Chain A
Amino acid sequence: MTSVKELSKRRDIFCAGHRACSGCAPAITMRQVTLAVNTHLVTGLSTGCMEVVSSIYPYTAWRSSFIHNAFENVAATISGVETAYRALKKKGKLDAEYRFIAFGGDGGTYDIGLQSLSGAMERGHRMLYVCYDNQGYMNTGIQRSSSTPYGAATSTSPAGIKIAGKQQFQKDLTEIMVAHELPYVAQASIGYYRDLNKKVEKALAAPGPSFINVLACCHRGWRIEPADSLKYSKLGVDTCMWPLYEVENGVYKLSMKPREKLPIEEWLKGQGRFNHMFKPDNADMIKKFQEHVDEKWNRLLWKCGELKERPGQPAK
């Protein structure tokens, strides 16, 4: 694994001058992920915040080659570029060594881009797909996605008088990608960027497609202070809402076990989108959230060989 000292000497591929909000965790994700690349690179981005802040014509924040096609098709687009690369290599028309990274937000990955992602992974294109998961359609005005957590208030799941925020738990995309039997799948958080650097290096070294799901808070959508982006990206891990783990050739491994597993309130409190859950009438919502986290966490511990007994299914 490349040392921090070494990484600090590398020239940023995602460079200064982009127009992301101050404290934007996805922007830090772009930088930290691409920092781990030491070959030529083609980056693809689905439509979303990171695309619109990084490539406003006639400027670009990308020192790698970069392509944006549409919202739902970054995986298919990079499939095409990667195939072009193989075609050129086969014909001896290109010597340079390239890697391919497709980035999508959770909307572009969990929802509208899921088919394109699944297809690209099944076909075995050697690309790393990184989902920067900020748990909602933040670019279009904070709507709920299938990654938005239970209870969260969004523009399309507001904390209403009758219905208090999103009624469903998150889709577990990382597990869906594990089911694709890829050489490398991991879950990471920008709050623990060294773990992310390491995972990107592993993913790029994998002989086929790889996938990393990165929790990267949107302070606008989570209704927190910009300075707290990384704090909340960390707390997601420390409460075991977003465990860090990897699955290498089907083998689960926990990347980090919190010294003390914090109650979910520690992550929920202070996030404006969960404020209503702290009202006395909604006390059962936090309880329900905690139970879901615990069940999923125990299940993951079992998969990672840290628990002997197989726990039950998480409650819906």
Chain B
Amino acid sequence: MAKLVKGVFLGILNVVFIWTALFLYSSEAYLVLVLLLLGAALVNFVFISERAYPYRYLLPAAFFMILLVVYPIVYTVYVSVTNYGTGNILTKEQVITQLQERRILDAEAGNYTYQAYRDGEGQLWFVFTGPQGELLLGHAGELTPVQEGDARLARLAEFTELARADLVRATNEISALSFALDEARQLQMRNINYFGVYRPQYQYSRERDELLDLESGIIYQPVLGYFQAPDGTRLTPGFREIIGFHNFSKLLTNPQVTGPFIRVFIWTVQWALLSVATTFSVGLFLAILLNDPHLRLRRFYRSVLILPYAVPAFISALIWRGLFHTELGVINRVLQATIGSGVPWLQDPVWAKVALVILNLWLGFPYMMIVCLGALQSIDVEMYEAALVDGASSWQQFRHITLPLLMVSVGPLLISSFSFNFNNFSVIYLLTRGRPPIVGAQTPAGHTDILISYTYRLAFESGRGVDYGLASAVTLVIFLITGAITFFNFRFTGALEEVRKNV
């Protein structure tokens, strides 16, 4: 029975593999095809060999993790050393093809007058008259020389000849057409009256890897993702290419990039520290109050105070943005009524930061409260009794018993909370969007941007075009810092030892 189920399962899997393989073959994605076949072989091996039994359980999870986490990380490293971004999106091959297809008018070849016809199916036919009076029949990109009185010309009489008004209306359609005159030259519409001869502007030499401008004779050579003339003129578009550590050095040495980057970096650290400090101190304070067995309504307080944590953060952040609204928000209305003036919450760099910290306090204190309550309850009461006998004050008890014992269990959570807030994109993005902007920055950066929102804007939102290369370089900086923090945390909690022992 089990064998049958396995057989059917593997059979279905293989049908899917074969179907996908055929599809990949027909779309000429050979590299992916090879990878797929290797994968299929691996799957079959793992499911047939008894020795590979445990791997059957790991395959699905491993597949998704490698494809969607490991590969993107590796790819991020790769992109960070390239110039990938607006202006350098295409590969070198694509750029060469595109440049070679660029044509210029050959003025000496003269003008071709034309008459256009439309057949019953809506297709266009042309009769061109060259500068020497030669006749050419044009259809579907091809030209056929014809003589006066040719039967093929006579057929055109059955079609509708386009009058001048029709030509004007069909200008877009006609100007998109081209007819091959010979291997290199084409006839293209020049204006409503004439077609002209167009010839290629550039010629690429594969041996020398350079591009020759056929008209001026200037030679362009590939430099850092562009074809560049000796005088420094660049042809656009550029292509994507490995440019080494250029992006990283730009972060550290280009004043218009470095200044904002350092400011964003410092605020990111401040933000993460402030978030942990405020949520933890309030959470701990409330936990100590609520842990008091003599307090009435404990359960009520506890279940109400936990509520902010149950609301999805993206909704809370948007709600708070309404509360902080400078002209209409309730907070400013209350301030206006009591102290006589509101606060430019989201316009002023400092107040925007204050608003963020208040919002994150609201979002985060319940978590700290729950965690601290749990930790407090696990502290042995006898400790306090002993301290009392020795005459310790409440503060001394807190300082020397509660806090150290609490830190053992809560410490690692504080560190993960730090790295969570270090990358807390939604709160920043939804409340301030990183605004107000830093004046004079070359890259889109704001006073409340943290590294991750800065990366996001570099990659997806810049009005001046996107820069995947630079964005990936910043991402690697974040990786490095988050990684270091978490590694430290693992040492702290002994997670690494757990792996080591768990042979």
Partners in one complex: no
A interface vs B, CB < 8 Å?
Answer: none
Chain B contact residues, CB within 8 Å of chain A: none
